[in-house]
Amino acid sequence: MNHSPFPILEFDPDRRAKLTPEHPDTPLLPQRCVITFFREALEELVREQKLDPIAYLHSEIVDLPIYRLKRDGEPVCVALPFATSPGAVCTLEELHTLGAEKFVVCGGAGCLTPGLELGRIILPVSAVRDEGASYHYLEPGREAACPAEGLAAARRGLASLGIPVLEGKTWTTDALYRETEEKIARRAAEGCLTVEMECAGFFAAAQFHGLPLAQLLYAGDDLSADTWDSRGWDRQHTVRRNLLETALDLVTYF
């Protein structure tokens, strides 16, 4: 373990930890898993296919259901995650413990680039680590890269599905209400297309466990102008449902 005046930089490579998720006697989940932040879209899918939960992610506040369905004849599970980077890594840890091995995540993000149209699909190739959880999974560094196997599978699958995406960098922050003008400008200058709260955590935890993972984001609210524009980003039902369907198709290529 290295030592630093700043605790967040004291990375310990020891893979053992006092507290770990409890393994079931046999895997409960199929290997392929979609993690979606789109609760309404998932609930609609559950109603249409009459799905029942096969397991839950538990917390003191809420239990999040996990569902199983077939996609192109392949068993797939789909789950809602806990929010923010710490929530992301806990979600991945627990789904992996229950049997999932290959992941596609889909969510929304704020736009740092002028002219990035609402609903545009973005495939992040790396994330600026302006959060805390990733520093417990990877040595200190400015960025976390999308796991190479997951990125290659996503590119292959998206090309086969004929779905155009914009590849680039995202900024992951823990502090939703501390996205200041200067920070936004700096992140945009270093190539960040978007800002969100989980990507760096997902990338770091997936790298730590050697898991293929990729994340799809859709361009939502706009932070590139003098004033914030929500653009109704959280009411884009069709965009969200379509992106969930894309993620379910894409994970079959993993």
Tens of pLDDT along 190-224? 999 999 999 999 999 999 999 999 999 999 999 99
Q: Is 0.95 topped by the overall pTM?
A: yes
Residue 247 CB partners (closer than 8 Å, separation 6+): 34, 36, 104, 105, 106, 216
Q: What is the DSSP letter of 119?
A: T
Q: What is the pLDDT of residue 2?
A: 84
Residue 236 maps to a domain:
yes
Kindly state the tokens that stand for 241. 């449902």
Domain with 174, as residue range(s), is 26-253
Structural domain count of the chain: 1
Closest of 47, 37, 83 to residue 201, by C-alpha: 83
Examine the pLDDT at 234 and tell me if it is beyond 90.
no
8 and 132 in contact (C-beta within 8 Å)?
A: yes
**pLDDT > 70 fraction of the chain, expressed in percent and rounded:** 100
Residue 241 maps to a domain:
yes
CATH for 201: 3.40.50.1580
Where residue 8 falls among pLDDT bands split at 50, 70, 90? very high
